[in-house]
Amino acid sequence: MVVLVVWILNGCLLHTQRSMKIESLTPYIVKKQPQKSNFSTMSKTSKIQNFDWLGSIQPLVNQMLEAQGVIIGSLLLLDDMHNNTNGALPTDKATDALYKSLKTNSIFGIIQEARLIHARQALGLSLRDTFYSRSKAIGLARIINAQYVLHSDLNGDVKSPMLDMQLILVQTGEIIWSGSGTIEPDN
């Protein structure tokens, strides 16, 4: 009985396959265009442009330190500098310049690196995680008991980037100061 059922079903499949009209398919071939390498167009004498990070950031920091409503002696979490330009920039140098520009200020206490590392681990963030979202930075600031977060973005053309900074009140998420300026080339 089983053999009969298998034989009938097998015969039906063969009959169905024979009755189907099979069209010939022509393969569709995609020809890849050769990509031009950036290396061939770069001259051997081209150099990476250097910027005056400290000189460009300091005026904005000075403006921020005069912002209304800032409580003297508050703790400030410096969010790592974010690069939203159309190229690569040394954001570590920009972040270092931001720390240097705030090192001697009399308004904010700056969160120490060891404390920041401990708080990142408590949140489950990698040590290389640059907060990229304001909400992560604010969450981290809450764990550290910081009252403010300074969020900074580099935008526009990589050859003449713009710096946008926002001072955020951690308790409410309100932006209490914002400023922007051009990052000047180092001469």
102 domain-assigned: yes
pLDDT in tens, the chain (187 residues): 655 555 555 555 444 444 444 444 334 343 444 444 343 333 333 456 799 999 999 999 999 999 998 999 999 999 888 999 999 999 999 999 999 999 989 999 999 878 888 888 877 877 666 556 788 889 889 989 999 999 999 999 999 999 999 999 999 999 999 999 999 998 7
101 domain-assigned: yes
The domain that holds 71 is classified in CATH as: 3.40.50.10610
- What pTM was computed for the model? 0.71
36 domain-assigned: no
16 domain-assigned: no
What's the domain count of the chain? 1
Q: Give 81-138 as a 3 state SS string.
A: CEEEECCCCCHHHHHHHHHHHHCCCCCEEECCHHHHHHHHHHHCCCCCCCCCCHHHHH
98 domain-assigned: yes
